[in-house]
Structure 1
């Protein structure tokens, strides 16, 4: 399920498998995981798995289970499913309901809930227990199949399998993700009526549901109830969720008080927790607390991953602390961390949003000179910044760089408003060579359109060149001459 739709500070459902990464051992001896992990998007792992066994290596069930869990954690679901299927096919172990539940979950993630249903329906009756029923429910919830989820929950109740908070949490996640926040507290009440103890995640979902409806009084009541539950140990994340809604509601004093409670429950080595609190204080506009927490994080955590630097830079930029953000970038550069284009990109986007396009462009050029990777999206954002300042020549330069970096199916598409503006400028002021080269690059990214040909026509006509080949090209793409085309041709 997509917990990003719940809240930025609402951490993942308990169904997420969290395990220690399974790498090679200290002596760098090859393991099965080290053979599988680099294979990327290979269509089948079976040849590698078979080769491992043929080479005389023993395959242990516990090892395969750890590999599957680690692949799931890394969201490499297709690979995890292949390992699980191979394990079953080779009779390495007789699948218990727990293994079937994992297999069912993976099938749902890779092939969808219909395939998961078929797998479930073909299970033996003794394998259909609360774990496999729960795994199928999670598949329905993840794909937002509301009716199927409710019917399946009813079946679980009839079978006596709806006895854990996990089941009800799934339904609360479903209502949250489909925007039916008002139904979440009803599920919490039903849990209590059925003598199922809510856990931290149950309460957090309910707190989020009240906050999402701007019912801060209802949110406070649930938070107070949670604090007085003998079986609940309050965690930093729940307070962070509540603090976020206080910030949204401009209740600064309550937000700060709740953030202090959150910090008091934070594991001092929890970088993720520090990052959340830093972001929330930045949202409050509190630079002092942002820097204080960063200092605490630096002293408490042995090392900082790139995500830590990104969060800190985003927070500083939110506070318009550009000099501090620049210092943070330099600190990251000297940290020894691997190069991650997202880190400098954070500052580039921050510059562009504030109209500091020259600084953004200079940073991009500096990275390029150093042989570091940049993104077409970064150049495109800077191009848009220049275009909004009516500096079209500079926008053109940046967009050319973006098009040179374009890789198909990587998700980036140029801003059509900026593209149309550049094409118009090229037609009116650019050289025929620049216009044709730009359109040639553009054709690899977006469908050919009338604006492209009009720009090239105008540029060529101004240069005194013949345009018959361009008109033939328009016919090739079924672009008929319109009044604007005739007006351009009349310039000859």
Structure 2
């Protein structure tokens, strides 16, 4: 394998780092759980790792690759398989991660520890649903604290309050509620269900039972206090934490507090916590990115640039997410020329070409009325040999819709449709498609309407707005609406609009 390929693989795999979500959503719970079990050892990325990580589609089975690997007489270690599962989960390829986990457990040739079963249980919940996860949990003869924690995470993710609290009580009875992760799950449950007043009570219970809260525990409480505009409690909580000699408060706890104060309009207080966060960041790129985003919210370009300079000095290199953060912050402040300069820097940095980065610039251009420049920029990128993703053309199509140039919007969306088969997860924005369909119904040629509708049906969007626009396009051209469209609407539980009702009444 040549050096260039090795470099490409390293860039590809390094771009799969999971970033902390900005709010406490079920996705955040996934991150909490992922950090809990066996994900501490770093394993060298082997040929097997790269073979699986470079699979293009998340729907492709990984089992044949593993079977062939074994048939070729090559060895594989448990810790290596665990590392690959971790990478797949980080990339949200849960089906493949579960397949690999079950391959590992079914082979019988690898030790399968409680941490492995906990991860498998969590993956079953994600892929097959809570009922399948509960069946798996109940069938396990031996249930460790990690197994209980994994099932609790599944229940919390689904918003099952009674089941989650019942499971917590069982964990207490068995002496399994010894980790802050367990209580963090319950606090996240209350936060997501809007029962904010119960969160401080959980924190108090942790302390009373001898379970030491962690930074995540305090961040949940800070957010709950912020949602209730209880700023005195935030101050008291942070003062309490800072006074604990054996506890190290991290940058993220301070930036969480700063974000709460910015939303409330208390900018000076936010800045004081941002300064404290800066003292804690050291070499953590996520911390610098968080500070850049916060300063952008305050409209402070000078501080943004200062933090960006500190980050470039403190970290070895800037990955795509770093450029996206900084460019997005510049776009937010209307600094399009500087965002373009940073984009040029990114292109020359040698990172794996990720179209999410230029998309930030394209959005900036279109939002500020420079849609023609956005199109010219994208054409230039393509001219340099890069293949865009559908959303790149979708962004420009939206810009042309905003300017009323429907012919150009149609052309751009057609280009997006052409790229969709290689990007099956992409769906166009219903409002943009509806506008284009309405225009096609009035002014488009028959072959254009037919081609566009066929492409739309291939993508199989089930949004009601698109269905209704499809029907209006048929009616505008004087065509009979296909029975299949009406059947699809019924199957997708899409309510009829006035045009649909007229069709049914005339049949």
Q: Which moved more, 1:313-322 or 1:396-405?
A: 396-405
Distance 1:382 1:149, change over 3 A: same
Partner SS state of residue 416, structure 2: helix
Partner SS state of residue 176, structure 2: coil
Give the alignment partner of residue 415 of structure 2, picking from 384, 401, 420: 401
Q: Which moved more, 1:187-196 or 1:135-144?
A: 135-144
Distance 1:9 1:292, change over 3 A: farther
User: What's the counterpart of residue 99 of structure 1?
Assistant: 116
Alignment of 1:108 with 2:125, yes or no, is yes
Written as runs of structure 1 = structure 2, the 5 A alignment for 1:291-302 is: 291-302=305-316
Alignment of 1:76 with 2:90, yes or no, is no
TM-score for the superposition, normalised by structure 1: 0.83
Shift of 1:316: 0.3
User: What's the counterpart of residue 297 of structure 2?
Assistant: 283
Shift of 1:248: 0.6
Q: Which moved more, 1:322-331 or 1:439-448?
A: 439-448
Partner SS state of residue 120, structure 2: helix
Give the alignment partner of residue 404 of structure 2, picking from 390, 393, 401: 390
Is the 1:278–1:315 Cα contact (8 Å) retained in structure 2?
A: yes
CA RMSD of aligned residues (A): 3.4
Shift of 1:168: 0.7
Shift of 1:293: 0.8
Q: Aligned pairs, how many?
A: 461
User: What's the counterpart of residue 215 of structure 1?
Assistant: 230
Alignment of 1:64 with 2:64, yes or no, is no
Offset from partner CA, 1:307-343 (integer Å, 9 cap, x none): 1111001000111111111111111111111211111
Partner SS state of residue 33, structure 2: coil
User: What's the counterpart of residue 4 of structure 2?
Assistant: none
User: What's the counterpart of residue 241 of structure 1?
Assistant: 256
Shift of 1:218: 1.7
Shift of 1:93: 4.5
Written as runs of structure 1 = structure 2, the 5 A alignment for 1:173-184 is: 173-184=188-199
User: What's the counterpart of residue 53 of structure 1?
Assistant: 70
User: What's the counterpart of residue 383 of structure 2?
Assistant: 369
* Separation (CA, whole Å) in 1 of partners of 2:155 and 2:348: 47
User: What's the counterpart of residue 16 of structure 1?
Assistant: 34
Distance 1:311 1:12, change over 3 A: farther
Shift of 1:80: 3.4
Distance 1:391 1:270, change over 3 A: same
User: What's the counterpart of residue 37 of structure 1?
Assistant: 53
Is the 1:246–1:252 Cα contact (8 Å) retained in structure 2?
A: yes
* Separation (CA, whole Å) in 1 of partners of 2:176 and 2:407: 66
User: What's the counterpart of residue 336 of structure 2?
Assistant: 322
* Separation (CA, whole Å) in 2 of partners of 1:154 and 1:100: 22
Is the 2:29–2:153 Cα contact (8 Å) retained in structure 1?
A: no
Is the radius of gyration larger for structure 1 or structure 2?
A: 1
Shift of 1:225: 1.4
Partner SS state of residue 265, structure 1: helix
* Separation (CA, whole Å) in 2 of partners of 1:409 and 1:433: 25
Distance 1:277 1:436, change over 3 A: same
TM-score for the superposition, normalised by structure 2: 0.80
Q: Which moved more, 1:350-359 or 1:66-75?
A: 66-75
Unaligned runs of 5+ in 1: 458-469, 486-492
Q: Which moved more, 1:200-209 or 1:396-405?
A: 396-405
Distance 1:357 1:61, change over 3 A: closer
* Separation (CA, whole Å) in 2 of partners of 1:100 and 1:436: 51
* Separation (CA, whole Å) in 1 of partners of 2:98 and 2:483: 50
Shift of 1:423: 4.8
Is the 1:435–1:455 Cα contact (8 Å) retained in structure 2?
A: no
Is the 2:26–2:157 Cα contact (8 Å) retained in structure 1?
A: no
User: What's the counterpart of residue 461 of structure 1?
Assistant: none
Distance 1:162 1:20, change over 3 A: closer
* Separation (CA, whole Å) in 2 of partners of 1:444 and 1:9: 29
Partner SS state of residue 57, structure 1: coil
User: What's the counterpart of residue 373 of structure 2?
Assistant: 359
Q: Which moved more, 1:73-82 or 1:284-293?
A: 73-82
